[in-house]
């Protein structure tokens, strides 16, 4: 029944649940329905066990290789009988790093589940329920289908209910939290005959979590818990899997490729040295095999950038700090980078592009009719409920004291008195809030902007009041001047509301309502030039009708007309017969206004190649009018093929739907399921989708999108389902965030380039040393130190590289674009090869040429393993000296510091972007060198890392070997900047050697 109650009559629904509308359910029926339909609660979702969440963090190929390397290293240390700190330092440090990364992942995943819990905040606490013939207030969780519930102004709907009886002239519900409609919805008892009815069509259903803003009624519960509108949103969120960010995908692809290369090189190194397994220095074939297997493991440790996950996280965290200063608060670190390749922004209209605060924008009154009808229009500034705004005439001249003009003065009176809403200031949130109908609150705000008569200092003197007093100061003034005697509520047949007031023994009737209803009851009109009341002629009516059609049609304003009538002081009650011979005061046009900065942000998005699709539950004409105002349609001649309602889109054949998605700029009359469907459809077309929103209805789409962007003033559910929250609710902040995301991606590429080229150098060093048959160039613990400390600090500082000036002029990069392209990888190899060769050159230099070394012939160095079996002029212990590995390690560190400077820009020379453009990088290089000097010259540390102090002659050679890396990269950058670099890329590099560029499979 909950699925089609809107299409059934009241009698059918009551009979289905077996309930008497005068008595309600009996206790036995309540128990039976509770067993049959369940409780009115959103059950907690069973979370994955903690141990599964932890294991999930290790489901990565590079991480698995590192774990295997750590375990093998640990086992080999035990097999060789090694003891002490150095034996187990390497595996221990690796495992500690992986554990820290896993902890961060678990914490992030736990926080992501809060959105589901916070949906419960939108369930009502209590409900007025009819049971056993008596009304009582019960917890909303005890409601069952079939319960008769009474609701009135201010009530939060406790479950999905079908209205069965109207207890007032009208009943209106604010459904913005669910549908995004800017206006409240009038409810009625009659059945709905719409086919494929959406929430907005179900005018006889009250949806859980929405709020009654006018009227009183009774309804029967038809859906509880998971079977409500809120429950369906929760179910949609549960079905949504978190999307993998483009950067994560590319890093995974590159990691898989790197892992295969590493595995191949490790096996190759082991096989190349099979002939050395039986060397006497190893003490047997098995020990020789284990020795070279340990070298292969050290090679794996050298090749895998252990610090990469930590550095990526740190770089993204730095970006989030910068974005926080732009009022964009990031909840999910990877989403920072995702912004950089966003191609489509699906923007919610109400509350995102608009303020979600109805306000009067235009006022139309009769100025004078002495020389023919002269109608005057006034425009009103201010787009929120704050009583701050200026009234301008048709020439855009500010009206200094609006209350001195008769029509504006009486408009303010009528707006304040013919009104049942409340405007108040909330000091906790620091903003003005409404209670009641949004159109009535807009009239209250208009009365505040008009001000009060009789004071030369008006309206500036109002600014001296506290915000709490200012909220309704003028409204309270009129309510004190005029005492309400009787109210004739709004009814659907009259389409107007009237209130009888008294002041100084005079009685006045104030009315507001639909323009056609008010004008048909008016016989006179108030003039604005002198306050005179004159007959309402046919010419004036025609002119007013023309202005009304312009307001309601072209400008899509919601119009209300206001009127008054002086009546005998003896009258104490009102009836509809009194609503005749009224005096027309004026016409007001109101709207949910667009945010002032949105138009410029739209233009920036178009310049950056980002398409904006406005998504709303509002009607088509209102949304199209807004899109014109904000410039979303500036590039279009007409809207056909660009503007669709949800039902129109669903009726399209598959091929036309695909074409429509490529051109769509506006999507109206949508439900939460439609938003999620739109996001999925765009993702299937390989678009990177950002979704903005603020309501509960936006949560499933926010979670499904590549990046969900919630408004700071939005619901807690929307915020928790999102990746980013805009603290200032400013759509323009998205543009700044996109620019930051692009800059972060560029910096990410730079430090990946730095780390990989450095690690390639380490691999080349170990591999070439094994092939040449010379002693181990670097100890595993030295490799670990270089990878974690000397690589990590500069790589992190690269994240502070400045943003390119033209970052928002480029089109979004393709999702399929690899982080490391063919030409870039070739550059890695060239730089990495030099790093490795320079490191080995330092090692060989000490043995062959150094004045402090043994000055051995190169052939002796290659046959070091047979030294004990030969007569030599030098002791075999020379090969255990720590000097050569110290020189090699120092060359590796220094050459990587110079390489870090190369990464200030991908293609710009150091002559254009000097080192001091990133002082963080300069500081990190200085700190890294200080740490390296520390382990060289502090005895306990030098023993731990198997190093020894170097002389000035040693340092001079280190610098000679290290500096050329800058010259080599300057040449490669020059080739990149010129067309010859492109030809060079295709000539020397085969793209099929890189990981395949996969399309998204969503």
Residues classed as catalytic: 348
For residue 793, is it left (φ>0), alpha (ψ between -120 and 50) or beta?
alpha
Taking alpha carbons only, the member of 641, 636, 687, 645 closest to residue 660 is 641
CA distances to 354, 636, 755, 795 from 827, in Å: 49, 45, 13, 17
Please, are residues 791 and 305 in contact by the beta-carbon 8 Å criterion? yes
Contact call for residues 528 and 476 (beta carbons, < 8 A): no
Nearest to 616 by CA among 708, 553, 701: 701
CB 487 within 8 A of CB 417: no
449: nearest Cα among 461, 463, 439, 459? 459
Is the distance from CB of 209 to CB of 299 less than 8 angstroms?
no
| Separation CA 204–CA 165 (nearest Å) | 10
Tokens of 483: 């005492």
* Residues in contact with 927: Cβ distance below 8 Å, sequence separation at least 6, in sequence order: 793
| Of 928, 919, 920, 937, the residue nearest 897 (C-alpha) | 928
Angstrom CA distances, 181 to 187, 623, 625, 931, stand at: 14, 10, 15, 61
How many Å apart are CA 228 and CA 234, to the nearest integer?
A: 10
Q: What span, in angstroms and rounded, lies between the C-alpha atoms of 704 and 116? A: 14
H-assigned helices in 18-133: 27-37, 50-56, 61-79, 85-112, 114-118
Letter string b/e over residues 78-114, b meaning 16 or more CB atoms within 10 A of that residue's CB: eeeeeeeebbbbbbebbeebbeebbeebeeeeeebee
CA distance 834 to 617: 61
CA terminus-to-terminus distance, the chain: 35
Q: Is 300 exposed, middle or buried (0-12, 13-18, 19+ CB in 10 A)?
A: buried
To the nearest 10°, the Cα dihedral for 630, 631, 636, 640?
-10
**What does the alpha-carbon distance between residue 76 and residue 738 come to, in Å, rounded to a whole number?**
49
Q: Is the peptide bond before 459 cis (omega within 30 degrees of 0)?
A: yes
> Structure tokens of 624?
């199209």
**Which residues have C-beta within 8 Å of that of residue 84, sequence separation ≥ 6?**
none
**Are the CB atoms for 524 and 583 separated by under 8 Å?**
yes
Which H or E run contains 726?
A: strand 724-726
Contact predicate 815/243, CB 8 Å:
no
Tell me which residue of 693, 663, 691 sits closest to 677, measured CA to CA.
Answer: 691
From the number of C-beta atoms within 10 Å of its C-beta (0-12, 13-18, 19+), residue 267 rates as exposed
Q: How far apart are CA 817 and CA 833, in angstroms?
A: 25
d(CA 329, CA 325): 9
If DSSP codes are grouped into helix, strand and coil, which group holds residue 609? coil
Residues 900 and 903: their CA atoms lie apart, in Å, by: 5
Q: Pairing state of beta strands 582-591 and 359-368? A: antiparallel
Using DSSP bridges, classify how beta strands 391-392 and 422-426 pair: parallel, antiparallel or unpaired: unpaired
CB-based contact 215:100 (threshold 8 Å): no
């Amino acid at each position: 029944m909950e699925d089609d109650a809107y299409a059934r009559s009241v009698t059918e629904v009551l009979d289905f649940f077996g309930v008497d509308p005068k008595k309600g359910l009996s206790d036995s029926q309540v128990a039976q329905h509770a067993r049959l339909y369940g409780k009115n609660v959103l059950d907690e979702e069973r979370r994955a066990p903690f141990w599964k969440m932890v294991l999930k963090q290790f489901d990565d190929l590079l991480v698995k290789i590192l774990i295997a390397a750590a375990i093998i290293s640990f086992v080999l240390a035990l097999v060789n009988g090694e003891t002490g700190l150095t034996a187990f330092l390497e595996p221990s440090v690796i495992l500690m790093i992986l554990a820290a990364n896993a902890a961060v992942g678990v914490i992030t995943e736990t926080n992501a589940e809060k959105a589901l819990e916070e949906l419960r905040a939108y369930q009502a606490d209590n409900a007025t329920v009819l049971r056993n013939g008596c009304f009582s207030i019960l917890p909303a969780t005890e409601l069952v289908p079939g319960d008769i519930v009474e609701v009135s102004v201010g009530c939060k709907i406790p479950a999905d209910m079908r209205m069965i009886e109207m207890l007032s002239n009208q009943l209106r519900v604010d459904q913005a939290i669910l549908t995004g409609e800017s206006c409240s919805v009038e409810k009625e008892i009659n059945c709905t005959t719409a086919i494929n009815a959406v929430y907005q069509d179900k005018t006889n259903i009250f949806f859980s979590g929405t709020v009654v803003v006018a009227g009183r009624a009774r309804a029967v519960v038809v859906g509880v818990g998971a079977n409500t509108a809120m429950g369906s949103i929760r179910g949609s969120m549960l079905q949504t899997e978190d999307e993998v960010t483009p950067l994560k995908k590319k890093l995974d692809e590159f990691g898989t490729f790197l892992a295969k290369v590493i595995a191949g090189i490790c096996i190759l190194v082991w096989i190349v040295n099979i002939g050395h397994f039986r060397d006497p220095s190893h003490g047997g074939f098995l020990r020789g095999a284990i020795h070279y297997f340990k070298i292969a493991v050290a090679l794996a440790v050298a090749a895998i950038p252990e610090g990469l996950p930590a550095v990526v996280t740190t770089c993204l965290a730095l970006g989030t700090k910068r974005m926080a200063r732009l009022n964009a608060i990031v909840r999910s670190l990877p989403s920072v980078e995702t912004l950089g390749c966003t191609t489509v922004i699906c923007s919610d209209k109400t509350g995102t592009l608009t303020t979600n605060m109805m306000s009067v924008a235009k006022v139309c009154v009769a100025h004078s009719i002495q020389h023919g009808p002269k109608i005057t229009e006034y425009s009103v500034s201010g787009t929120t409920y704050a009583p701050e705004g200026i009234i301008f005439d048709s020439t855009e001249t500010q009206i200094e004291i609006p209350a001195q003009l008769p029509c504006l003065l009486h408009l303010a009176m009528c707006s304040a008195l013919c009104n049942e809403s409340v405007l108040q200031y909330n000091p906790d949130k620091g903003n003005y809030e409404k209670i009641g109908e949004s159109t009535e609150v807009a009239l209250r705000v208009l009365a505040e902007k008009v001000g009060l008569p009789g004071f030369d200092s008006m309206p500036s003197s109002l600014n001296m009041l506290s915000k709490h007093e200012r909220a309704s100061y003028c409204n309270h003034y009129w309510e004190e001047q005029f005492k309400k005697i009787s109210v004739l509520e709004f009814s659907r047949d009259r389409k107007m509301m009237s209130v009888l007031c008294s002041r100084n023994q005079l009685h006045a009737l104030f009315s507001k309502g639909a323009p056609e209803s008010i004008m048909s009851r008016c016989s006179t009109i108030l003039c604005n030039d002198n306050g005179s009341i004159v007959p309402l002629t046919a010419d004036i009516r025609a002119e007013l009708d023309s202005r009304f059609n312009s307001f309601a049609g072209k400008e899509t304003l919601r119009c209300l007309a206001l009127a008054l009538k002086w009546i005998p002081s003896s009258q104490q009650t009102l009836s509809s017969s009194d609503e005749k011979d009224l005096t027309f005061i004026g016409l007001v046009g109101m709207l949910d206004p667009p945010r002032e900065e949105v138009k410029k942000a739209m233009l920036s998005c178009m310049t950056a190649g980002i398409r904006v699709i406005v998504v709303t539950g509002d009607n088509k004409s209102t949304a199209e009018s807004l899109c014109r105002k904000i410039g979303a349609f500036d590039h279009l001649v007409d809207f056909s093929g660009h503007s669709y309602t949800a039902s129109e889109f669903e009726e399209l054949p598959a091929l036309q739907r695909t074409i429509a998605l490529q051109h769509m700029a506006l999507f109206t009359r949508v439900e939460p399921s439609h938003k999620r469907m739109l996001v999925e459809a765009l993702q299937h077309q390989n678009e990177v989708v950002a979704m903005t929103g603020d309501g509960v209805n936006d949560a499933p789409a926010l979670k499904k999108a590549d990046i969900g962007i919630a408004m700071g003033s939005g619901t807690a559910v929307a915020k928790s389902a999102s990746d980013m929250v805009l603290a200032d609710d400013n759509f323009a902040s998205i543009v700044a965030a996109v620019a930051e995301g692009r800059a972060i991606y560029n910096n990410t590429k730079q430090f990946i380039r730095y780390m990989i080229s450095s690690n390639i150098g380490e691999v080349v060093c170990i591999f070439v040393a094994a092939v040449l048959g010379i002693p181990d160039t670097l100890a595993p613990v030295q490799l670990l130190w270089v990878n974690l400390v000397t690589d990590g600090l500069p790589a992190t500082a690269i994240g502070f590289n400045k943003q390119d000036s033209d970052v928002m002029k480029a089109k979004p990069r393709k999702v399929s674009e690899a982080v490391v392209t063919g030409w870039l990888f070739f550059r890695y190899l060239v730089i990495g090869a030099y790093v490795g060769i320079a490191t080995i050159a330092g090692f060989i230099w000490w043995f062959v040429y150094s004045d402090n070394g043994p000055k051995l012939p190169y052939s002796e160095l290659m046959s070091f393993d047979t030294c004990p079996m030969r007569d030599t002029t030098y002791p075999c212990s020379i090969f255990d000296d720590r000097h050569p590995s110290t020189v090699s390690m120092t060359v590796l560190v220094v050459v990587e510091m110079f390489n870090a400077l190369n990464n200030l820009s991908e293609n710009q020379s150091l002559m254009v972007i000097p080192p001091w453009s990133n002082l963080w990088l300069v500081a990190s290089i200085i700190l890294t060198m200080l740490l390296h000097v520390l382990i060289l010259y502090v005895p306990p540390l030098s023993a731990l890392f198997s190093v020894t102090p170097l002389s000035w002659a040693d340092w001079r050679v280190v610098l000679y070997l290290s500096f050329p890396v800058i010259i080599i990269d300057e040449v490669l950058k020059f080739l990149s900047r010129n067309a010859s670099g492109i030809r060079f890329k295709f000539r020397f590099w085969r793209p099929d050697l890189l990981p395949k560029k996969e399309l998204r499979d969503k």
